[in-house]
Amino acid sequence: MARKYFGTDGIRGRVGEYPVTADFMLKLGWAAGTVLTRNTEGKKRVLIGKDTRVSGYMFESALEAGLIAAGVDVDMLGPMPTPAIAYLTRTFRASAGIVISASHNPVEDNGIKFFAADGYKLPDEVELEIEALMDKPLVTNGSYSLGKARRLSDATGRYIEFCKGTLPAGYDLNGLNIVVDCAHGATYHAGPRVFKELGASVITMGNTPNGFNINDQCGSTHMDGLQEAVTEAKADLGIAFDGDGDRVLFVDANGEIVDGDELIYIIAQHRRAAGNCDGVAGTLMSNLGLELALKELGIPFERTKVGDRYVVEALKANGWDLGGEASGHVLCSDLNSTGDGIVAALQVILALSESGQPLHQLKQGMVKFPQTMINVRLARKVDISDNQTINTAVAQAEQELDGRGRVLLRASGTEPLIRVMVEGEDQVLVDRLVADIAKIVEQQVG
């Protein structure tokens, strides 16, 4: 069944444009509260956290009202990384957790993500139940069965201690010089504190949110500033989070970006040496170089649809602990139930420390294939799967790659975009093919 509101990562869009409006969020709170607490024995309780967007105040209040109308108690956490909500939902034994964030998107956007009581994102069938209830009238409980709201003041401290606890007992970061870019987002408080409290020398940037500067020329989507800061400070490495803290990318001491695929490889290599990496889950966008490097280590690799929720499903099905995406979603499911930028960063640093090698050297075991992507923006979402002209262009490109590359076209789950990706050994060929296909897609449906 087609979903009306939910995409690959919750509900997301431009603030003020349906469904990212105050009235929709009010009803969404009521519908989600009703569905997600139906099997709760005793007091119904939902946590709400958010990133630093100015619109978060409005949507926080609207969701709070809807949940209370459904008889659900609400704990307001304030600005908090997405993975912190997943963790706290479990530890507080809440019925569900809600995150108000558009992740790496600009401030003009916002969205909603949900976590079930176990800290995992909702399965499709539960999202469909929420959507079905959205089509029914909102019914407000009477005074004696309304929920209540409160603000939790110690949530950040709890999450910081959790992150530190994912490292071996007694391990510290003394002697490590790092630059941390918080994207003026949800990690602005917790991120630097974790590394400082573990003993690292930390230069912090992107940690003065004002409601409007989230992801603005900073964080994991704009790495130039971090690269410059690392080389100028002669730091050991740089760490960049996105707006809600579920993504992380690194910069090595030479100022070179280390993407999610490379970080996954580093963690997998370290865990394999310790005998505890049975397999890795990636996505259709994962670099072919990661697959080949893992094969050299004897580590099975499985691709899923794009989206960390599908990576989680593959990890569960296979009984594996490690997976993620090149964008920086790195999942260590033995430590947290969703992509956690801070926890993943600590796992990379642990691998560096125990190997005795710098980041630039440790990533050399994975040779990335040139991979170029062009986003073709559409006036509206269009299904291109049956377009013969586009399919012919893809087939011709695959023939030119001669089995040593890939072509992938996929619709964005959160924006009206067609992502055109070509991967191969020859950068010049890759760039030409991706430009040709993108032009044809634009001509056909742009």
Q: Which residues are catalytic, by number?
A: 103
Taking the C-alpha atoms of residue 253 and residue 174, their distance in angstroms, rounded to an integer, is 17
Q: Compute φ and ψ for 108, nearest 5 degrees.
A: -65, -20
Of 304, 216, 247, the C-alpha closest to 8 is: 304
Taking the C-alpha atoms of residue 170 and residue 102, their distance in angstroms, rounded to an integer, is 36
The pair of three-digit structure tokens given for residue 331, joined into one six-digit string? 């999942």
CA separation (Å) from 139 to 45, 68, 390?
19, 11, 48
Largest CA distance in the chain: 69
Taking the C-alpha atoms of residue 180 and residue 193, their distance in angstroms, rounded to an integer, is 10
- Residue for token pair 């993500």: 113
| Proportion of the chain in helix, strand, coil states, percent, rounded to 5 | 40, 20, 40
Taking the CA atoms of residue 31, residue 242, residue 377 and residue 430 in that order, the dihedral angle to the nearest 10 degrees is -140
Whether residue 97 contacts residue 119, with contact meaning beta carbons closer than 8 Å, is answered with: yes
Whether residue 264 contacts residue 282, with contact meaning beta carbons closer than 8 Å, is answered with: yes
Per-residue three-class SS string for 180-221: EECCCCCCCCHHHHHHHHCCCEEEEECCCCCCCCCCCCCHHH
Whether residue 211 contacts residue 79, with contact meaning beta carbons closer than 8 Å, is answered with: no
